[in-house]
Amino acid sequence: MSLSVLRIGPACTVQDQGRTGYLDQGLSRSGAADILALHEGAALLGQAPALAALEMASMGGEFEATERTRIALTGAPMQASVDGNPVIWNASHELEAGQRLTIGAAIQGTYGYLHIGGGIDGDMFLGSRSAHLTAKIGRTVQVGDRLSARAGSGAVGLKLQPDDRFSGGVLRVVASFQTPLFDQDTLDRFANTRFQRGARANRMGIQLESTGEGFAAKGQLNILSEVITPGDIQMTGTGNPFILLPECQTTGGYPRIATVLPSDQPRASQTPAGGQLRFQFVTMDEAVALHAAFQGDLSRLPTQVEPLIRDPHDIPDLLSYQLVGGMISATD
């Protein structure tokens, strides 16, 4: 199975669940900004969630199937069609050789995902196929590339009700080692502030904006650099929070007021520019329980897929189907 890239957005990369175990060597995880979308695609195609997919930031592209190919579309809903006929997002479809898949701009959210049956193949580096542009690992997908997949089996024509995470909302956070550097009034104000995602955002992090005074820690200029991870919320010198994403640096000296729970990181990543966000502190025990529930939800996704019912108006060869197999009596 493979797709030839005819047109592509400016920030499309191949991503899986990333590479772990290299923070001490200065390499962050990378991987999909929306891990949940990887699991949704795997459920729709009946394959492992560790397989790689194409991550599309705000804009997709145009692709031609070089052979019969199974695909799934997940993450931020985008305008999508096959040979000009609209196709449903968060569903799996089959493309015949020569058919063209067109994916336009995101309707909601930020990151959309194109999955291929068997997973997108590519060079494995340190246990992952994920591009990590800030570390110069891999590159963006270009016109003329071929997205090839290993042989795989599974069903198509399935849909899945997506988790609504594409317009902002509440992010649950736990205290970090540096949270005590912020006084209680500042922490209370942080939890009660409605933030807006700013225009400055990429796979390293997203900037948040708010009205009123910024947020500062005691002795902020004397903080030594420490290990940081995706989900950490750093306060810059201007007092604006930054939520760190998969390609963030591995150390930093800006104070961290809190850390977003892994279960809520997809919502943080998918919040579009201008989207509203608020933070809710939870205890560590609550965070552990919420993470266990999230893992359970991921494992149950394959049981939640259902048949994709096609609209007869969208079936070009409808008359070739035998719709009535015999005479039907109104009384028998």
- Does 291 fall in a domain? no
- Does 37 fall in a domain? yes
Number of structural domains (the chain) is 2
Tell me the pLDDT tens digit for each residue of 33-50: 999 999 999 999 999 999
Give residue 118's domain range. Answer: 2-164+299-314
Q: How far apart are the first and last CA of the chain?
A: 48
Is the full-model pTM beyond 0.95?
no
- Does 229 fall in a domain? yes
Q: Provide the 3-class DSSP secondary structure of residue 134.
A: helix
Same-domain check for residues 221 and 264: yes
pLDDT at 312 over 70: no
Same-domain check for residues 110 and 191: no
Residues 6+ apart with CB under 8 A from 222: none
Same-domain check for residues 190 and 278: yes
Same-domain check for residues 99 and 240: no
Q: Which amino acid is at 219?
A: G
Same-domain check for residues 44 and 124: yes
Same-domain check for residues 95 and 191: no
Integer Cα distance of 280 and 157 in angstroms: 39
- Does 287 fall in a domain? no
Same-domain check for residues 74 and 209: no
Same-domain check for residues 23 and 71: yes
Same-domain check for residues 160 and 180: no
Closest CA to 149 of 229, 67, 92: 67
Tell me the pLDDT tens digit for each residue of 217-275: 876 656 667 788 899 999 887 788 999 999 988 887 788 899 999 999 999 999 999 99
Same-domain check for residues 113 and 27: yes
Closest CA to 243 of 281, 200, 212: 200
Tell me the pLDDT tens digit for each residue of 103-161: 999 999 999 999 999 999 888 899 999 999 988 999 999 999 999 887 666 678 899 98
Q: Indicate the pLDDT class of residue 313, thresholds 50, 70 and 90.
A: low
CATH number at residue 193: 2.40.100.10
